[in-house]
Structure 1
Amino acid sequence: MSAEQRGPTPARSTDERTRRPPLAPIPESDQRPSSRSHRPNADPEYDALPLSYRIERTQLRVRITALERALETSENRRQAVIDRYERLLADRDEVAESTAAAEEEPQTLLERLIGR
């Protein structure tokens, strides 16, 4: 969901912001087990968090995953542009070399007479 589609973020009171418990670190693992018992957050401390916090964490994980995919797509596109540019330069160099080689060939008698 883009920022334009979301409504304004509700303002929270200072007390509500300061009462929020610290979030546990998110594991670095790329594996996302589907079983609740094998979840990285299947601990009593996580389950004690209010549902709204767990929902927010899940939304953040989903957003991180989407951003990682977008970054990978962007990097792939960038690499494709670089590859095309390198092929274009190689083709241009090849044409320049073949043109230079053709110009270096000795002229025929007729070309020498016309050229003078």
Structure 2
Amino acid sequence: MSADQRGLTPVAPADERTRLTNPTPTARHHPRQSGPPNGSVARSDPHDVPLSARIERTRLRVRIAALERLVAMNETRRQAVIDQYERLLADRNNSVQDDSASSSSLLAKLPTL
């Protein structure tokens, strides 16, 4: 299968991955725990969350975004290597076909000599 047929694998943004992997944060809430479930504090009011937690979340979001860019860059490089390899294979196949065609024409000339 060629690289063009495979296509690129899309990378979901960090927020979307979080929603997909943790669709119901309240499902983790244990009935014996007092207070709100883990995910509900972040959804209520951003000012209710301690500053240190907001800073940490922001720092993690920035890191995730940087890693997503790195993954996309690596995917682009990988795709370029695959494309180059496929071009080299095609050139080599064309060269082999040209060589065999030349050999055939030389063999055709031999009986006439």
Structure with the larger RCO, 1 or 2 (CA within 8 Å, 6+ apart): 2
Aligned residue number for residue 74 of structure 1: 74
Deviating runs (4+, > 6 A) in structure 1? none
Aligned residue number for residue 22 of structure 1: 38
**Mapped partners of 1:44, 1:79: distance in 2:** 43
* Higher share in helix: 2
Aligned with 2:46: secondary structure? Answer: helix
Structure ID, larger Rg: 1
Matched, 1:107 2:109: yes
**Mapped partners of 1:103, 1:84: distance in 2:** 29
TM-score for the superposition, normalised by structure 2 = 0.58
TM-score for the superposition, normalised by structure 1 = 0.57
Unaligned runs of 5+ in 2: 1-34
**Mapped partners of 1:85, 1:50: distance in 2:** 52
Aligned with 1:107: secondary structure? Answer: helix
The alignment of Structure 1 onto Structure 2 pairs a total of residues equal to: 76
Percent identity of equivalent pairs: 47
Aligned residue number for residue 51 of structure 2: 51
Aligned residue number for residue 63 of structure 1: 63
